[in-house]
A and B are shown apart, each in its own frame.
Chain A
Amino acid sequence: MSQHTTTAAPPHEHPPHLRHHFETLTQQFDAGKLGIWLFLATEILLFGGLFCAYAIYRANHPEIFLYAHQFLDKTLGATNTVILLCSSLTMAWAVRASQLGQRKLLVALLAATLAGGGGFMCIKYVEYKAKFAHGLLPGTHFHPHEEGEEHAATAAAPPVAKPAPPVSGPALEVSRIPAAAAGPAGTVPNREPGESEGLGKRPSNAQIFFGIYFLMTGLHGIHVLVGMFAIGWILIRSARGDFGPGYFTPVDFVGLYWHLVDLIWIFLFPLLYLVK
């Protein structure tokens, strides 16, 4: 099966790692790069929707953000930022190491990156645990209280209106949301604002901040976990000696994904933690 080639590679030589539908390594590499950048574009648009929700609620209800962000710990957030930035360095360095055939260094750097991801998730776990303990949960579960208190005075659940009318036929899902049956424009009245631990008067609908917080950091955290799996897989393959100057694209592409995860956090940190 002869092929027309237009680059310097001699036609009969078939470099290893060249898939049969590509003609040269350069073409394959460029195609892969283009592909991964297109995938990163989809991730940007995915998170873009969340940033849009953030922008709208912050612009239209700034009182919610000014109040609720005080519950976040700036130090933990900044630590997480530093961890991710350093892990970005170790990842970029790891790509360089794979390009230069420095196998032991590559393995060490990937392990360091993985550790960085692990550290990030540990801090996230600590933060989430504190939120749960204080009842700072999204949506209908929001009832801020001191740790240990089960039913604080301010933990008034929204007035439950009539349940949604049943739809005929079998149904597996039942909605947890009270049907809009009372109040102006068909909504239930806003949650009663209340006091909270010296942080100022709680505005109505404060739970929206935590909805956005958990969605944004949660989706980001899922991406960190996926990235950690990918890095772990690359780590195993590096230890086996799969990568070198002739073939390093998986390291490169996983690296690009990891940098994107870092990029998103670079924006999440000031927007959520440094609101004032």
Chain B
Amino acid sequence: MPEYAQPDILVSTEWVAEHLTDPRVRIVESDEDRALYVQGHVPGAVEIDWQTDLQDPLQRDYIDRAAFERLCAERGIANDTTVVFYGDKSNWWACYAFWVFKLYGHADCRIMNGGRKRWGLDGRPWSTERVAHPCTTYAATEQDGSIRALRDEVLRHQKAGRQLLDVRSPEEYRGERMHMPDYPNEGAVRGGHVPGAVNVPWPMNCNDDGTFRSAKELEKLYIRELKMKRRSPTIAYCRIGERSSLTWFVLRYLLGFGNVKNYDGSWLEWGNAVRMPIVRGPEPHGTSAATRAASDACATPPVHA
């Protein structure tokens, strides 16, 4: 019976309930909707918002090392703190914040399995109190490039035919137009996917209650059905890197992939960047403009890769 690669990386709501006042633990909430935290949060949990706390205000990037250190100090997070992330939407943004903490080398990060949904289903108490923990000092590492893919690396990876996962919905992956054609497709001027990327929509990782699927189910999906290789370099992307953080988390910590990166630029970068290769349709290698033109010019249809 397969187990998660790092089973302790997930903690239950029961574990969190038992550690609410443990000074070695800091519970962090990250949500799609910030108002959820004020409506009610896990007692003692602090909020770290992906947009207002983790983004650099000037360049499109994460906050720099000094700002990350200040953020941790303000939230009462020390280098040896066990930080437990949770949130709405099956822990999308919790995984995103987890990934940023790993980017700066935080040693002990966990995810509360099932997030807000599971906390509610388990009948655990919500708090509306303002939370303040004593400030600490924090020393971050330089950014860990082994978990982050920038655009040019993705291009090389794609050209080499390596494992590439697009975790958006099938409609986004296929490059279908939005319902109102005068609005950009998901904020990008072009729709479609990176050639060779396989579509594995992120909900396939999760149960309805927001928890992650079992090791057995995840192995069946990624290893047996998609025939992915644990040791091969793998990159995941979505629209702005939030859903792909969740898939990154699953591959690295639950399935034990040794070399997996999040391409945080994702479609909002690729679909807007000049001359980046794009294909549309349901297949990984799709139908590019070049092959369409070639098939128009030739009597016989071309062979697709």
Task: Judge: A and B partners, yes or no.
Answer: no
